[in-house]
Structure 1
Amino acid sequence: MMNDKNVEVMEVHFYEKPGCINNTKQKVLLKDKGYKVIAYNLLEEPWTTTVLAKYLSTRPFAEWFNVSAPRIKSGEINPANFGEEEALQAMIDDPYLIKRPLIRVGQNYGCGFDSVLAKELMKEEIDRALLSCPKSKTQNSCDDEIK
């Protein structure tokens, strides 16, 4: 029988927007599953197109964007007008545009808490309420409060 001290806890690198209600709940769920969650501020990370693409390319291009981002909600930016390279650069310039959280476990990458990687980590159905901003319909989103 293996001693609990010898069991390695899987590290989940979690890129969030600090203060995001759902990112906070998502981290708690991962910790409750026994993972070691290492949180990073997605907005301050020195992204490159190559690194960011590893996370985003795990889902269809149309799902790369945070639809609660102020510039998308205001109509200033229409994600449909971007190609992939333009989108990556726009997200580096304005990380609020990035669908979150970004998750990495070893060399596995995911974008959003509904990503294949997040679903594998949770090993169960994810509450749909944790997949979009709870403030977006009734009040300004957390993104709006920061900008």
Structure 2
Amino acid sequence: MAQVIFYEKPGCIGNARQKALLIASGHQLEVRNLLAEPWTPATLRPFFGDKPIPDWFNASAPKIKAGAIDLAALDESAALALMIAEPILIRRPLIQSGDRREAGFDQSTIDAWLGLRQGSAPVPDGCAME
């Protein structure tokens, strides 16, 4: 069992399923509103590790879906500035347990890190709608 800080978009069906799986797997969640968190580059950056910058973003965010942001042209500072200004752009959920942080819900990564209930049905990584 792990203590997990789970940053979500309230009302997101995908986040609700992800939380339910973590709870069913015996983890204790402290749920926070990703959109209301006072992010800074120093607090947000660790969630993305060595993932490429386009993977930091929520593919379902309206500006991303519309192609209004050229993700390939962003450097780290510009990407963080955009996400801090508009947290809806942040890939979610953001998950923290101990010193480790992750963005998104790759079920195999989460299982290897925290452990998930055996035989769990696949849970989506993110929301289909904003």
| 4+ long deviations beyond 6 Å | none
Could you tell me the TM-score, scaled by structure 2's length?
A: 0.87
Larger radius of gyration: 1
Distance (Å, rounded) in 2 between the aligned partners of 1:28 and 1:18: 14
Identify which of 43, 58, 62 aligns with 1:66.
Answer: 58
Displacement of 1:62 in angstroms is 2.5
* 1:130 matches 2:109: no
Q: Which residue of 2 aligns with 1:81?
A: 73
SS at match of 2:114: helix
SS at match of 2:6: strand
Which structure 2 residues correspond to residues 1-147 of structure 1 after superposition, within 5 A?
Answer: 9-114=1-106, 118-119=110-111, 120-123=113-116, 129-133=123-127, 135=128, 141=129, 143=130
Please list every run of 5 or more consecutive structure 2 residues that lacks an aligned counterpart in the other structure: none
Distance (Å, rounded) in 2 between the aligned partners of 1:126 and 1:63: 25
Displacement of 1:23 in angstroms is 0.2
Please list every run of 5 or more consecutive structure 1 residues that lacks an aligned counterpart in the other structure: 1-8, 136-140
Change (3 A) 1:31 1:128: closer
Would you say the 8 A contact 2:15–2:126 is kept in 1?
no
Distance (Å, rounded) in 2 between the aligned partners of 1:64 and 1:39: 20
Change (3 A) 1:118 1:92: same
Percent identical across equivalent pairs? 41
Would you say the 8 A contact 1:110–1:117 is kept in 2?
no
Change (3 A) 1:58 1:33: farther
Distance (Å, rounded) in 2 between the aligned partners of 1:61 and 1:30: 26
Distance (Å, rounded) in 2 between the aligned partners of 1:12 and 1:83: 29
Change (3 A) 1:129 1:72: same
Change (3 A) 1:36 1:97: same
Could you tell me the TM-score, scaled by structure 1's length?
A: 0.78
Equivalenced residues, count = 128
Deviations 1:21-72 (Å, cap 9, x if unpaired)? 0100000000001111111000000000011001012523231110100111
CA RMSD, aligned part only?
A: 2.1
